[in-house]
Amino acid sequence: MILFLRALGIISALSALAGLSLGIIIWNQHGARHGFWETSVQTTREIPIIEGMPELGFQQQVVWEDKLVFGIETLISGIIIFIVFMSICIVSFLISSKLSKKIVE
Amino acid sequence: MKISILALFLLSGLAVFAGATKFDFKDPKNINNIIFQMDAPLESINGSGDEITGTVHFDPNAPSATKGTILLNSASLHVGNPVLKEHIHGPDWMNVKKHPTITFKLSKLENIRKKGLDFFADAKGKMTIRNVTIEMNIPIRLTYLKGLLEKRNRVPGDLLVIRSKFVIKRDDFGIRAGEKLEKVANEIEISLNVAGAAPTN
């Protein structure tokens, strides 16, 4: 039982660190935005008013491309996973130490 | 006598538009758009709207008499997050079902400066959003391209490009005034990029 609890504690600690790291890495890779996820991304292009005559000026064209971009929810999920697994880790280590003390007594 | 006075009055009204060309802003190339940006402390929202229609009467010899209306279908407002888009279109924010259009009614141009092909001016008119109408002065840049519509749309005629960058406040239009300011900024930066066509036949 003690061994099981200690193994559970170690696995939980590793899962907590993995969850947090993954959250931070994905959030950072997707631009570390403050907003929530997006399913389309805005691209602005400068189009000549008349093709082949750039001297007459340009007009901005907005194009929305379907693309999944993660936002702040990824970081929040990572933090929640970290808190949940760290709690399991702490509780399992506390129970296992109490059990081992009882056995010694 | 009365009839001749009325006829004179009508003729003088027509004379104002006699030299003006009517430009239609429904773009067959689908490039016309508005871009909006809101920078709140917690969130930045970027989006666009592309279903633009309307007409503007413009005479390069009398630019101050420029008149017209530019309309945006509010249901065409788009942002990257689908939940946010649903909220923006919903009854609490833009209420696109009840208020399907955003309108700017241009009544005249002031402080006109000509630089090359461009006219820089302040557009005086009325902006209507969610049934709230406010008089506004918007800095605009007009590019009049005589006879060049053919090179863009393969139809003979003239082209008028209107560009503008201005700021509106959602408080002014009663769009949840004073609420959620940490996530949705009160100031909305708008960039307008539209080209209007005046085919000759």
Same domain for A46 and A28? no
Range of the domain at A97: 1-34+79-105
Q: Does residue A10 carry a pLDDT above 60?
A: yes
Q: Does residue B158 carry a pLDDT above 90?
A: yes
Same domain for A41 and A66? yes
- What pLDDT, on a 0 to 100 scale, did the predictor assign at position B14? 45
Q: B30-67 pLDDT, tens per residue?
A: 889 999 999 988 888 999 999 999 999 999 999 999 99
- What pLDDT, on a 0 to 100 scale, did the predictor assign at position B116? 86
Mean pLDDT of the region B97-125: 94
Same domain for A26 and A41? no
Number of domains in chain A: 2
- What pLDDT, on a 0 to 100 scale, did the predictor assign at position A50? 87
**How much is the ipTM here?**
0.73
> In order of start, what are the domains of chain B with their CATH numbers?
19-199 (2.40.128.110)
Residue B42: DSSP 8-state: S
Q: Do B143 and A49 touch (CB under 8 A)?
A: yes
Of B6 and B84, which is predicted with more confidence? Answer: B84
Q: Does residue A33 carry a pLDDT above 60?
A: yes
Same domain for A19 and A3? yes
Same domain for A91 and A63? no
Mean pLDDT of the region A6-21: 93
Instruction: Give the minimum alpha-carbon distance from A47 to chain B in angstroms, rounded to a whole number.
Output: 9
Which residue of chain A is at minimal alpha-carbon distance from B117? A56
Same domain for A24 and A45? no
Whether the CB-CB separation of B22 and B198 falls below 8 Å is answered with yes
Same domain for A102 and A84? yes
Q: Does residue B10 carry a pLDDT above 50?
A: no
Q: Do B145 and A50 touch (CB under 8 A)?
A: yes
Closest C-alpha to B94, from B104, B83, B86: B86
Q: Do A51 and B152 touch (CB under 8 A)?
A: yes
Same domain for A29 and A43? no
- What pLDDT, on a 0 to 100 scale, did the predictor assign at position A56? 84
Same domain for A57 and A30? no
Model confidence at B7, in pLDDT bands (50, 70, 90)? low
Same domain for A3 and A30? yes
What is the reported pTM?
Answer: 0.81
Q: What share of chain A is helix, strand, coil (3-state, %, to 5)?
A: 60, 20, 15
Q: What percentage of chain B carries pLDDT values higher than 70?
A: 91
In sign, the C-alpha dihedral spanning B82, B99, B171, B39 is positive
- What pLDDT, on a 0 to 100 scale, did the predictor assign at position A105? 78
Q: What are the residues whose beta carbons fall under 8 Å from the beta carbon of A70, sequence distance 6 or more? A: A26, A27, A30, A37
Same domain for A42 and A24? no
- What pLDDT, on a 0 to 100 scale, did the predictor assign at position B4? 55
